Structure 1
Amino acid sequence: MNYSISDLEQLSGVSVHNIRIWERRYGALSPSRTPGNVRFYDDDQLKRLLSIAGLYHAGYKISKACRLSSDDMGKLLKEEVDNTLPAENRYSYFISQIISNALVFDERGVNDHIAKSFRQNGVAETYKFVIYPMLVRIGLMWLTESLCPAQEHFLSSIIRQKLFAAIDGTVGQQAGKQKWLLFLPEDEDHDIGLLLANYLLRAAGHQVVYLGAKVPLTAVSNTVTATQPHNLMLFMTRVRPIDDAQLYVTRLAALFPSAQIYISGNKNVMSGLKCADNIHWLATLPDFEKLISE
């Protein structure tokens, strides 16, 4: 798999500016070049950058980290270098290492780092500050097909398993909490964000009716009639014509006028829509957390 320098920025969290400085000053990476002299990077170069970023967040100087061989980096990263890190750096460390292990299909490595984050940060904090930012970081790569589909499915499968286990461990509905209906439109199938919302809602004591991905509006309508939810939530992540998105949200508002409808996903699409009073855009995870805690 080949990556541009902007792809590296999205996957590693390291800015293009810093990547270039690290290359020039410390020889961090050795990009290849196309016949047209355009630089590109392979999986090994991306994994090396993620390792360097991991060591950096673990407190190592960039100049020292860049001098290490890949084997030496691996040995250091296997040590407990993250135990005494401040929370912000610890989250970044786990994000870079989970992605790094996913790129080489190391299921044990991905699971070990998620489990370690559970122990150090707690389950809820891991989903909010490790899993969610990681999904945001690689989401653009998935949408532009810059990330290998096999890598996407591999990591998605592991995260989905963890979310199902976390959902099973939540308590039942608490008194005074509302009922939510969660679904994806029939042309959407990336359900990890929806599963995360499912977990956070249940953890907060709300009742959830979860329909999953690719749900026709007729099925949503039948479920609303049967369950009478207070709120509907969906994700629209696909790049789609504004007119198509506008038609869909207008139909939602008309079909379910008594419910509050919350949408998250592709901000470039949502920012161009005119929404009815019962349609609400959730731009960030803190927005959603604030909503469900009120």
Structure 2
Amino acid sequence: MTYTISDLEQLSGIQSHTIRIWEQRYNALQPMRSEGNTRLYDDDQLRRLLNIASLNKTGLKISKICNLSPKDFSDLVDQTCLTVKDDALSDYYVSQLIKYGISFDEPAFAALLDKGISDLGIQNAYRKVIYPLLVRLGVMWQKDDICPAHEHFLTHIIKQKLLSAVNDLGLQPETADTWLLFLPEDEDHDIGLIFANYMLRANGHKVIYLGSKVPLQSLQKVLKTVNVNRVLFFMVRSRLPVVAQKYIDELTVICQGIKIHVAGNNQLITKLKSIGRINWLKSLDEFDNAIQKTNLL
């Protein structure tokens, strides 16, 4: 696969202007040229840039990085994972995980993600690694820098890790509210919902997890069957505000007497009206605060 310098900017987080300077001054990359003299890069050059970006964000100078032999360069990338400082941790992990993801290297991707979870704990790993990675993937997806196969490959492994963390919690005493978690029937991006499931269970809440693509009629039947204190759903995909508003209005009627929480596409949610009784969770911190407040009730 070939990439333009604009593609590399989106994939690496390094500005095109900086990439050109690194090429000219330090011979960091060796692009091919199209007939129109446009820079083109292959997978090997992309992986090299991602590694250079990872090393540079840990404080190493570009001049030193680019003067390394191929073996020393490879060894340093492997060693850096063990010594990277906290303030550069997110950029390092995201760059490396994208590198493994675009080459469909499942063992390396899974091993690095496991290390992040082991070193940071699942909650900090989600904040500092998984969530920033998902944001970067979202940008790449919008610009067609990755194909559906890449996205499915990466998210499948992430889901496995989060589901494993949920499973490891086991059955714990339930001391707080019962939360009902779901995605609307046109939504299937459920990584955030899985993490919310983990957070709630880890804080002693009972969770009824319905997952993705849940019709309102099914939700109504569940609420008639069990006693639910709080509902949490995500609206991630883009849709017309009028369509989202209609959904919110119908959900509000179904969930009378139940506290509703929503998270997801902030640009869409901010356009909705009459959601005063719905708690809009704009960030992970707000979700964490919502959990802690309910623990005190």
Q: TM-score, normalised by structure 1?
A: 0.87
Segment of structure 1 superposing worse, 218-227 or 28-37: 28-37
Which string of whole-angstrom CA distances, capped at 9 and with x for unpartnered residues, describes residues 79-102 of structure 1? 3x2333322222322222122111
Aligned residue-pair number? 293
Residues 75/224 of structure 1: CA separation in 2 closer, same or farther (3 Å cut):
same
Query: Unaligned regions of 5+ residues in structure 1, if any?
Result: none
1:212 equivalent in alignment to 2:211: yes
Q: Which amino acid aligns with 2:22?
A: W
Segment of structure 1 superposing worse, 125-134 or 56-65: 56-65
1:198 equivalent in alignment to 2:197: yes
Residues 169/27 of structure 1: CA separation in 2 closer, same or farther (3 Å cut):
same
Kindly indicate whether the alpha-carbon contact (under 8 Å) linking 1:47 and 1:100 is maintained by their aligned counterparts in 2: yes
Segment of structure 1 superposing worse, 142-151 or 224-233: 142-151
Query: Unaligned regions of 5+ residues in structure 2, if any?
Result: none
Name the SS for the 2:127 alignment partner: helix
Kindly indicate whether the alpha-carbon contact (under 8 Å) linking 2:58 and 2:85 is maintained by their aligned counterparts in 1: no
Aligned position for 1:249: 248
Name the SS for the 1:54 alignment partner: helix
Q: Which amino acid aligns with 1:88?
A: D
Q: Bigger radius of gyration, 1 or 2?
A: 2
Q: Which amino acid aligns with 1:58?
A: T
Which string of whole-angstrom CA distances, capped at 9 and with x for unpartnered residues, describes residues 163-197 of structure 1? 11100112545554211111111111111111111
Aligned position for 1:275: 274
Q: CA deviation at 1:162?
A: 0.6
Kindly indicate whether the alpha-carbon contact (under 8 Å) linking 2:90 and 2:132 is maintained by their aligned counterparts in 1: no
Q: CA deviation at 1:71?
A: 5.8
Aligned position for 1:62: 62
Name the SS for the 1:82 alignment partner: helix
Name the SS for the 2:64 alignment partner: helix
Name the SS for the 1:240 alignment partner: coil
Q: TM-score, normalised by structure 2?
A: 0.86
Partner Cα separation in structure 2 for residue 23 and residue 206 of structure 1: 53
Q: Which amino acid aligns with 2:264?
A: G
Residues 133/275 of structure 1: CA separation in 2 closer, same or farther (3 Å cut):
farther
Residues 24/252 of structure 1: CA separation in 2 closer, same or farther (3 Å cut):
farther
Kindly indicate whether the alpha-carbon contact (under 8 Å) linking 1:172 and 1:205 is maintained by their aligned counterparts in 2: no
For the aligned residue pairs, the C-alpha RMSD in angstroms reads 2.6
Identity of aligned residues (%): 45
Kindly indicate whether the alpha-carbon contact (under 8 Å) linking 1:179 and 1:207 is maintained by their aligned counterparts in 2: yes
Kindly indicate whether the alpha-carbon contact (under 8 Å) linking 2:174 and 2:206 is maintained by their aligned counterparts in 1: no
Aligned position for 1:164: 163
Q: CA deviation at 1:269?
A: 1.3
